[in-house]
Structure 1
Amino acid sequence: MSGELMESTRRRLSDRQADTVRRLTDAAVEEVRATGFDGFTVRNVARRAGVAPATAYTYFTSKNHLIAEVFWRRLRALPPIPPAPEEPRERVIAVLREIALLVSDEPELAAACTTALLGTDPDVRELRLRIGRTVHRRLLAALRPGLAPGAERPSPEQTRVLNALEFAYAGALVHAGMGYSSYAEMADRLAEVAELLF
């Protein structure tokens, strides 16, 4: 596991602290499955993880922060996009699909992630920025196979496509979170948007 994956939103962690955060994020998934997001509390997650509530709050300021961290860790755990001979359209569709399906098989967690990521506290905002940058980098890598970070800028056309894809992803996430479509349907609709752009 990389150091950045184990890093908290708020500080670098020792191995022991990283284990505590991992136990809390694992317990958060179990808790949201059991109670839904409305009944979800950091205190109950701490109990499920075998951690004192005060300790849990040193890592996570709110339930939104904790659930946003779960989504961030799943996104960061995706494998790098390998160089491949496919056309950019197929690569972009694959990237959109894998991001859209991160929580698709867990409806309670999916709804919780959507709500949490719209939170306003500073730690959620920081995670939202990290998530946005990661989605941006993955889409850019799909558009420009083999592009080294910072080595080249995308063309104006690629920038327009990239912006449209990012807006489509954000809108689809909110749409699914509001219950208008499932996350699996969201993946299909994002694929359709990508096909229109190429």
Structure 2
Amino acid sequence: MSREATRRRLTEKQADTVDRLTRAALEVLSREGFAGLTVRMVASTAGVGTATAYTYFSSKEHLVAEVFWRRLAATQPPLADASDANSRVVAVLRQIATLVADEPALAGAVTSALLGTDPDVSHLRTRIGIEIRKRLMDALAPNVDLDIVETLELLYAGALVRAGVGYASYTEIADRLEKSALQVLANPEL
């Protein structure tokens, strides 16, 4: 069975290599931080040749963005059993905001990586954005207002950048994001 990666479809063996690289990236990040992380170091930790690693990841930013994408994709959206849309939206935003909260090295690296200009990062940024938009729209259903969705996306993106640059912890940002989202939802004209 093949699985899709950022740059191409993968065989089972290739998917295993990519999995090893993404796990090794987390290990290297925790030791070296984003500034010290290199694709070469990750390849060595994963027991993979550097050229092989570059076959899958064009840069360290691409590698870290892939780690975040995989984490997001593997996380099921909060259950939609809340009766009101506001509670569902807040649950989605809180889940996304705290996705990397317990891993400060990864959190900072994700912020740096997703702001990069690498075309493979751009592709992942789009995939991540589409997934988050889908989750927000599902939470707002059946009364989806695209202006509200876009405002919530701006709130979430700004909040994560603030957390990523260290203005507040991800937990504090999640709390602030909840308050801001509820203000927008209560007064869509803001």
Aligned ranges for residues 1-40 of structure 1 at < 5 Å?
6-40=3-37
Instruction: Give 2:117's aligned residue.
Output: 120
Deviates more, 1:92-101 or 1:178-187: 178-187
Three-state SS of the structure 1 residue aligned to 2:36 is coil
Per-residue CA shift, 1:10-40, capped at 9, x if unaligned?
1000000000000000010111000000100
Taking structure 2 as the reference length, the TM-score comes to: 0.93
Off by >4 Å, runs of 4+ in structure 1: none
Q: 1:81 to 1:185 in 2, by over 3 A?
A: closer
Give ranges in structure 2 of 5+ residues lacking alignment.
186-190
Q: 2:149 aligns with which of 145, 159, 162?
A: 162
Instruction: Give 1:100's aligned residue.
Output: 97
Separation (CA, whole Å) in 1 of partners of 2:95 and 2:140: 15
Instruction: Give 2:141's aligned residue.
Output: 144
Separation (CA, whole Å) in 2 of partners of 1:185 and 1:47: 36
Separation (CA, whole Å) in 2 of partners of 1:61 and 1:176: 26
2:93, 2:178 within 8 Å by CA — same for their partners in 1? yes
Q: CA deviation at 1:83?
A: 3.9
Q: 1:129 aligns with which of 119, 126, 129?
A: 126
Q: Which amino acid aligns with 1:182?
A: S
Deviates more, 1:62-71 or 1:168-177: 168-177
Per-residue CA shift, 1:69-107, capped at 9, x if unaligned?
000000001114544242100000000011111100010
Separation (CA, whole Å) in 1 of partners of 2:28 and 2:162: 24
Separation (CA, whole Å) in 1 of partners of 2:82 and 2:64: 36
Count of residue correspondences: 185
2:30, 2:106 within 8 Å by CA — same for their partners in 1? yes
Give ranges in structure 1 of 5+ residues lacking alignment.
146-153
Q: 1:195 aligns with which of 175, 178, 182?
A: 182
Q: 1:56 aligns with which of 53, 57, 71?
A: 53
- Alignment of 1:178 with 2:165, yes or no, is yes
2:61, 2:113 within 8 Å by CA — same for their partners in 1? yes
Per-residue CA shift, 1:154-193, capped at 9, x if unaligned?
65xx212111100001111111111111111111111111
Separation (CA, whole Å) in 2 of partners of 1:115 and 1:85: 34
1:33, 1:109 within 8 Å by CA — same for their partners in 2? yes
Taking structure 1 as the reference length, the TM-score comes to: 0.89
Instruction: Give 2:188's aligned residue.
Output: none
Separation (CA, whole Å) in 2 of partners of 1:10 and 1:184: 33
CA RMSD of aligned residues (A): 1.5
Separation (CA, whole Å) in 1 of partners of 2:82 and 2:14: 42
Separation (CA, whole Å) in 1 of partners of 2:79 and 2:171: 24
